[in-house]
Structure 1
Amino acid sequence: MSEKQQKPKVPVVVSLISGGIAGGVEASLTYPFEFAKTRAQLRHEPGVPSPRNPFAVVLKTYQNEGLRALYKGCGALVVGSIAKDAVRFMSFDAIKNSFKDHETGALTPARNMLAGMSAGVVASIFAVTPTERVKTALIDDARGAKRYHSAGHAVRLILREDGPVGLYRGFAGTTLKQASATSFRMGSYNIIKDFQEARGIPQNTVANFVNGSIAGVITTLFTQPFDTVKTRSQASTVTTTAEAVKSILKDGGIAGFWRGTIMRLGRTVFSGGILFTTAEAVSKILTPMVGTVEDIQA
């Protein structure tokens, strides 16, 4: 790769802000699908039918519990998504830059995937696990005991009853999911993007959205079992990762690990497109501004 073809490094602050904004927008617009998927993955009462069609779950919830029920736990997810994607984009770009060939600036597909995996672990530790725990507990609680009045109230009760470790229930499953999901999502998106750029295919809004959607589909199909384990272990009733795995096998066998796949696909097709399109758009706006500030300071 010639020097002309080398990509400029994305400033850390740009990755942080663009990732955070993209995460908040994506989570807000696609939350009903996340709600439906989480409901499908939680324990079900024997003999009570549970629809797997995401639109059926959304419609049934709306009819029985009202519109507000579809956004139960949304605040926690939006806050978590802002933090998660800010950390994820920032750490991915930082790790990716360190993995690049110093002479050519090239990044192999394997290193793209490894950078994504590393970024997923960082995001899980600092943002994802606590916010996913609160979101899942709120959704689970809303269909039964209704002990939690808000995300803040849920956090206080969890801390009071289970201590700080309560916010990290499902950490193993969440980290496995985040490491694999970020590896496939960020890695595959960048691999597709690099492939297109090498062949002169312009990167515009449509290309960003399509590439993000493809990355979302790939991510969902390969990481759904981790997501199901994570959801079970973060329910309102305290459950360890091992207990979550046993309960999934008991309820649905091996196929039970892919419960909620259709619902998650319904979300990730759009979320992947929204996430990367928004991040790329914000990055294009901020990069020249940051560059100007750095030039002035220099």
Structure 2
Amino acid sequence: MPRPDRFGCRGAQFHAFFMEIHCLPVEKYDWLKRFGAANQEDDSWSIEKNNGKMRCFREKVEIPVDETSMLHGEAFSKTSPTTHMSPHPKSAKNVGFRDLVNGGILQCLEAASLGMPFEVWKTRMGSYRTETTLEAFGNIYKQGGVSAFWAGTGAKMVESASKGAILLFSKEAISDSLLASGVGETVTGFAAGAGGGVCQVVVMGPCTFLVTAAVNGDKSISTTQRIKSVYAAKGIKGFYPGGSAIAFRQATNWASRQGFTELVRGQFKVIFHGDENAKLTVAQEAGSGIIGGALACWNHPFEVARIQMQTAAERGEPKQSMIQVFKTVTKENGIGGLFKGIVPRIGLGIWQTLFMVTGAKLVKQALDGDKK
């Protein structure tokens, strides 16, 4: 897609504007009319302003690049926020089934590749906090070989398909609405990410519980047997131990991943192109995702709390609140215990951000480009 400039240029020949209500001096109105911009007489009217005659209209405009200098100044003082710079959607109505499908596919690809091994490694360290990073990796391998790094994959695929669809759909809906309201990209990234993360908790609670149980619980029990056992003993709520920690984690996870990535993208545009409205290359987009995903791991204590709460539930231990879990972990392992597993978590954070933030953006751009 060609780089957009301050007027939203999407190609070499034309600038595209979506106008709500515009009042122009008559001579400029006539100039626009020559290009078919204001050609609906039924949708225009005349007014008197500042002792001069103005012509008002509501229309979508395409104007040659070399003529845009005539449009600077007060003529476009009343343009919609959607006319500025990037091709932002006009509303969340653009979000639909495509986002559900893309989200599910991207999240499954993320998990089936490196996402699952990072998840298992991180979960092991969050539970066995006396093990070092390499010891945890080695012990996983000793217990089941390479396949041990994909323990609980069945539940994870169900989780990934559902949470990916929910994340992308809700995140894009919130993002489109905020951008259409004129909110900046960085603030929108944090807000949309947080909203999408919270929406994920509905499906993530049961699925992360089953994955954690598969890694830290009785290895002789299948996932199906574990589901039947938990449901018979505690019903639906038995699948949501650590729900508060998951909600905090997911909200801060995706708020940080989306927000930090957008923040870095903005800096990259200026650093590499000297233009805050420039289009980044794929490599630069990936670099933004890597940095954003790594920075998002500041919330790792919530992840340790989630693992501890779900592991305790699997073992039948007394239920603790998130604050009580923090106190228990720091008492047993010090402050460092809250950051056990940070290395695989950074790897997982980067990997998920590349798929669900950077990848989702690139896929959307490609699909939108195909429509033009």
Question: Which one of 162, 165, 169 corresponds to residue 241 of structure 2?
Answer: 169
> Structure 2 matches for 1:76-225, cutoff 5 A?
76-100=155-179, 102=181, 105-107=182-184, 109-124=186-201, 126-141=202-217, 145-149=218-222, 151-196=223-268, 199-220=276-297, 222-225=298-301
Q: Which runs of 5+ in 1 are unaligned?
A: 293-298
Q: Which runs of 5+ in 2 are unaligned?
A: 1-5, 8-82, 270-274
What's the secondary structure of 2:221's corresponding residue? Answer: coil
TM-score by length of 2: 0.67
Distance 2:84 2:128 in 1: 55
Question: For the Cα contact (< 8 Å) 1:42–1:140, is it kept in 2?
Answer: yes
Question: For the Cα contact (< 8 Å) 2:122–2:345, is it kept in 1?
Answer: yes
Residue 208 of structure 1 and its aligned partner are, at CA, apart by 2.6
Residue 147 of structure 1 and its aligned partner are, at CA, apart by 4.5
Structure 2 residue aligned with 1:296: none
Runs of 4+ in 1 over 4 A off after TM superposition: 194-198
Structure 2 residue aligned with 1:237: 315
Residue 71 of structure 1 and its aligned partner are, at CA, apart by 1.1
TM-score by length of 1: 0.82
Cα 1:110/1:272, change in 2 over 3 Å: closer
Structure 2 residue aligned with 1:51: 132
Identity of aligned residues (%): 22
**Residue type of the alignment partner of 1:229:** A
**Residue type of the alignment partner of 1:193:** R
Distance 1:288 1:108 in 2: 20
Question: For the Cα contact (< 8 Å) 2:86–2:277, is it kept in 1?
Answer: no
**Residue type of the alignment partner of 1:254:** I
Structure 1 residue aligned with 2:97: 13
Distance 1:64 1:112 in 2: 41
Residue 108 of structure 1 and its aligned partner are, at CA, apart by 5.1
Distance 1:196 1:101 in 2: 23
Question: For the Cα contact (< 8 Å) 1:58–1:70, is it kept in 2?
Answer: no
Deviates most, 256-265 or 204-213: 204-213
Distance 2:321 2:112 in 1: 28
